């Protein structure tokens, strides 16, 4: 991450200089900083709501129930996490919410899952295999129907916007499965730093 | 038909989850109001915890976008990409979609309005935007919330999956449309 952070900022300044847009790049710092706080603050309410709901779900045993149902799949994907951990149920709910395009619910639930995974993590600063797997599944953005995109297509008078549903679903499925496979492959060779000094990033 | 079912499912999914959680809570004699407020307390803390990570990622990506490097990269890549039947207009979407969701949607909206409904580029861009999540944003929020700064291979996997998604989108779009 250190190199990526360095690369993004330094390359931007150099490229900005070449393109004669240094002023734009400098302005972007302020805009980006403002946007970050806006995003974080806009999350507070909905985050509180779903964390509250998830707490009830956990206390009444719903999360454990979901975890039991999907155990055959998660056993392979998250093999380091105890089978009855609430993390598994949280992960299932977060992926489901994503699949149905409920990103407002998916993010807080996903974060709840991350917190549960953090409890099983040995090095609190470094991502565990399970955390990387959850992140991979989320960044691939598995979604059954791209509602926003279809809305835009309808607004420009696209003849039959639903034709994009099947190909989009196919693409997102391919990305989703490859993310899982890639995460599985990388976790073998890219150990956490405290086990192996080679994993610098 | 599929779309109708999906619309209904998307609309009712959330209310159904809420009814399920609350009903099961009451049946199991969980003090739901008390437990809800106890859990909700975390909301503020988590959101504030994310801020440093969001600032790092969003500021550096804003700078990256403002520098014009995305356009220059697009210009350099365009001869190569047109070779694979990828329209020039779609190139910014391919680069931006891992960096910023709102920007990708904005660019797609521009393409859709400028090129109109009967254009191959519109369809391809729609599929690319519809099939992805913003890798950098997800990384900042999810790892930021629990204070993870050593991300190991997480970003690499996310970006590789995005790249595979782009290839799949181009291939499938070529094949169907």
pLDDT along chain A (201 residues), means of 10: 88 92 92 90 88 90 84 83 84 86 84 92 90 91 81 86 87 93 90 54 41
* Residue that the structure tokens 């910014």 belong to: B92
**Mean pLDDT confidence for B12-33:** 90
- Look at A19 and B150 and tell me if their CB atoms are within 8 Å: no
Same domain, B8 and B30: yes
Mutation target to probe the A interface, by most A beta carbons within 10 A, among B23, B94, B133 is B133
- Look at A21 and B21 and tell me if their CB atoms are within 8 Å: no
Q: What is the ipTM of this complex?
A: 0.86
- Look at B63 and A148 and tell me if their CB atoms are within 8 Å: no
Radius of gyration of the CA atoms of chain A, in A: 20
Query: Count of A–B CB contacts within 8 Å?
Result: 365
Read off φ and ψ for residue A144, nearest 5 degrees: -75, -35
* Binding-face residues of A in 40-59 toward B, CB within 8 A: 40-41, 43-49, 51-57, 59
Same domain, B54 and B32: no
**Cα separation of A167 and A89, whole Å?**
29
Q: Does A188 touch chain B (CB under 8 A)?
A: no
Helix (H) or strand (E) holding A146: none
A30 CB burial (10 A radius; 0-12, 13-18, 19+): exposed
Q: What's the confidence (pLDDT) of residue A118?
A: 93
How many domains does one find in chain B? 2
Same domain, B1 and B62: no
**Cα separation of B21 and B23, whole Å?**
6
Strand partners, A126: B150
In this predicted structure, the answer to whether residue B5 has a pLDDT above a threshold of 70 is yes
Read off φ and ψ for residue A126, nearest 5 degrees: -110, 140
In this predicted structure, the answer to whether residue B160 has a pLDDT above a threshold of 90 is yes
Read off φ and ψ for residue A200, nearest 5 degrees: -75, 130
Same domain, B117 and B142: yes
Same domain, B9 and B86: no
Same domain, B16 and B63: no
Domain that holds residue B128: 46-176
Provide the token pair at B139.
Answer: 């990384």
A-chain residues near B127 (CB < 8 A): 164, 167-168, 171
- Look at A156 and B113 and tell me if their CB atoms are within 8 Å: yes
pLDDT tens digit string along A22-79? Answer: 999 999 999 999 989 998 888 898 889 989 998 998 889 888 888 888 888 888 888 8
Same domain, B35 and B54: no
- Look at A12 and B153 and tell me if their CB atoms are within 8 Å: no
A-chain residues near B157 (CB < 8 A): 132, 135-136, 139, 179, 182-183, 186
Q: What angle do CA B72, B73, B79 make, to 5 degrees?
A: 100
Same domain, B166 and B89: yes
Average pLDDT of every residue of chain B = 88
Same domain, B10 and B61: no
**Cα separation of B17 and A62, whole Å?**
11
Instruction: Indicate the domain borders of chain A.
Output: 23-189
Same domain, B161 and B110: yes
Instruction: Answer positive or negative: Cα dihedral of A16, A21, A23, A28.
Output: negative
How many Cβ atoms sit within 10 Å of the Cβ of residue A192?
18
């Amino acid at each position: 991450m250190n190199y990526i952070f360095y690369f993004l900022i330094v390359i931007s300044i150099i490229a900005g200089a070449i393109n004669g847009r240094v002023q734009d790049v400098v302005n972007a710092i302020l805009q980006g900083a403002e946007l970050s706080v806006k995003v974080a603050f806009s999350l507070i309410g909905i985050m509180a709501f779903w964390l509250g709901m998830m707490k009830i779900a956990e206390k009444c045993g719903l999360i454990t129930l979901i975890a039991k149902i999907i155990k055959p799949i998660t056993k392979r994907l998250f093999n380091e996490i105890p089978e009855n951990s609430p993390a598994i149920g949280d992960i299932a709910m977060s992926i489901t919410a994503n699949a149905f395009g409920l990103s407002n619910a998916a993010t807080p639930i996903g974060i709840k899952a991350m917190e549960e995974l953090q409890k099983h993590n040995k090095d609190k600063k470094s991502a565990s295999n399970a955390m990387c797997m959850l992140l991979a599944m989320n960044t691939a953005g598995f979604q059954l129907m791209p509602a926003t995109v279809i809305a835009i297509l309808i607004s420009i008078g696209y003849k039959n916007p639903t034709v994009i549903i099947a190909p989009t679903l196919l693409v997102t499925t391919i990305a989703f499965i490859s993310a899982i496979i890639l995460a599985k492959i990388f976790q073998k060779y890219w150990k956490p730093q405290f086990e192996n000094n080679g994993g610098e990033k | 038909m599929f779309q109708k079912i999906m619309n209904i499912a998307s609309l009712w999914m959330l209310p159904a989850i809420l009814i399920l959680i609350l009903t099961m809570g009451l049946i199991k004699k969980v003090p739901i109001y008390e437990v809800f407020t106890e859990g909700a307390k975390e909301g503020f803390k988590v959101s504030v915890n994310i801020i440093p990570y969001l600032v790092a990622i969003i500021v550096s990506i804003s700078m990256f976008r403002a520098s014009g490097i995305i356009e220059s990269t697009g210009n350099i890549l365009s001869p190569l990409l047109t070779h694979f039947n990828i329209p020039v207009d779609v190139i910014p979407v391919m680069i931006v979609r891992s960096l910023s969701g709102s920007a990708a949607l904005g660019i797609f909206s521009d393409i859709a309005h400028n090129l109109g409904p009967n254009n191959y580029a519109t369809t391809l861009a729609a599929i690319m935007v519809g099939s992805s999540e913003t890798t950098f944003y997800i990384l900042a929020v999810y790892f930021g919330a629990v204070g993870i700064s050593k991300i190991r291979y997480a970003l690499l996997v996310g970006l590789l999956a995005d790249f595979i998604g782009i290839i799949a989108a181009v291939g499938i779009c070529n094949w169907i449309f």
